[in-house]
Structure 1
Amino acid sequence: MSPTKLLIGQIFIVFAIMVLGVWAATQWCAAMLGYQPQLGQAWLETWVFAIYRPWQIFAWWYHYDAYAPEVFDKAGTLAGASGFLGCAAAIAGSLWRARQASHVTTYGSARWAGLREIRKAGLLRPVGKFLGTYAGRYLRHDGPEHVMAFAPTRSGEGVGLVVPTLLSWTGSAVIHDVKGENWQLTAGGRARFSHALLFNPTDRRSAHCNPLLEVRRGADEVRDVQNIADVLVDPVPATDTSGYAGLSDSIDRHTWQLLKGVALSTLLGVGTEISFGDERSDLVRALRQSAQQNGARAGDQIVGRSLDIPPTLEVRPGWPLRVLVHRDVVLRPWRQGGA
């Protein structure tokens, strides 16, 4: 709760205590005087007693103090006690607001969680990603939310958070391990209950695959190669004259056509090599060389056609286009009826 709300609540409570105290003194005084008609018109009458306005005791005290001094003295004491009680409430409220000053959120509300908040968040469970320790107990998160850790270099975030999580996490994980330390420390342990694969194109131990081996020979060959090219190549974002990239425009350099041609050329050469086997006869060698040469020429033609395709600029519908003409353009006169 903000300090302003606390102050307003404190003022309201003190005022309510004083008003209720004076009102109680008024009602007690009226009861002691037997609700006589000389006390004036009641604010509200019930079948048991009458209810007067809180401040009427002061008028009664002024006019009838000589007739019942003891009653008015006790009523005044009761009203005065409410004032002291209101002062006590004001002091207690001030002390409470002083304690709340340590939770001021003027510059933000972030703070370290306490044990009750940690329990409420479910961070003391024995499963999940490691976050740290609290009072000798591990803090682990096992929810669907994302976890992000910020730490400077060589501060122990690897051995304190990443490595314990990888050794205990039984689900799938994709690790961007630039230094290779996490692989060396956790690959053996994770291999006991899961598949641990290293992908590093510069490392001989890296897992690898040849996408061309997935191409189905025959009628689906061109389609499969085109799908592989589409996966590997994305259109380049278009830019304006200032060099800023467009939001929905792109430049299609037809790179997938080139990749498709290279893949088909490779498959033609490999298919020719495999089809003739390892025969040593002159006829087989001649046929192999001829087929390889023809396949190479066919592949070169495919690649050459792909290289000759100019880039295509794709813009959004309704985009204003300016065309610079360096030669005279002669248009046939327009005639009604299209003649």
Structure 2
Amino acid sequence: MVGSYQSASAYGQERVQISWERLIFPNASSIELAGMPGADQSGYAGFADQIDHHYLQTFGTALLMSTISAGQMVGQLTAFGSGTYSPYGYAPPSHWTLAGEAAGGGASGQLGQFGQQSLQQGMNRPPTLKIRAGYEFNVMVTRDLVLVGPYKG
């Protein structure tokens, strides 16, 4: 049998859609099937066998994103607050200290934002649908098939 499948799976999809184009007999004769759909043993359209929802990667990514977010917050905690107290009163931070804290806070914010955007793309991963060799299926006949007689190999 010659056919094609729809490779673009969407989030929540659990079946692979198949359309059959041609049935080839061992003696090299063939019948055109013109896109007849494939069905499972129960008659449901498409094939459903093994599904990998990528739960481990999704929740691992969420944990990593929360870690990046926490690091981003820690990187910005000390910004603009590192003056010193002494017996003579409060001494504001020097302009060098303020510049360093501003640079550190800005860098941690930008790196955190980039990391979260990169990881967000991985969280929207659709499931992987696997159909193993030997999967039993049916062809939904959607038009008349003319068979000359019983097949004799």
TM-score tier by shorter-chain length is: 0.3 to 0.5
Q: Given the two structures, how large is their TM-score scaled by the length of structure 1?
A: 0.20
Between structures 1 and 2, the one with greater helix share = 1
Q: Given the two structures, how large is their TM-score scaled by the length of structure 2?
A: 0.39
Q: Which has the higher contact order (CA 8 A, sep 6+)?
A: 2
Between structures 1 and 2, the one with greater strand share = 2
Q: Indicate the structure (1 or 2) with the bigger Cα radius of gyration.
A: 1
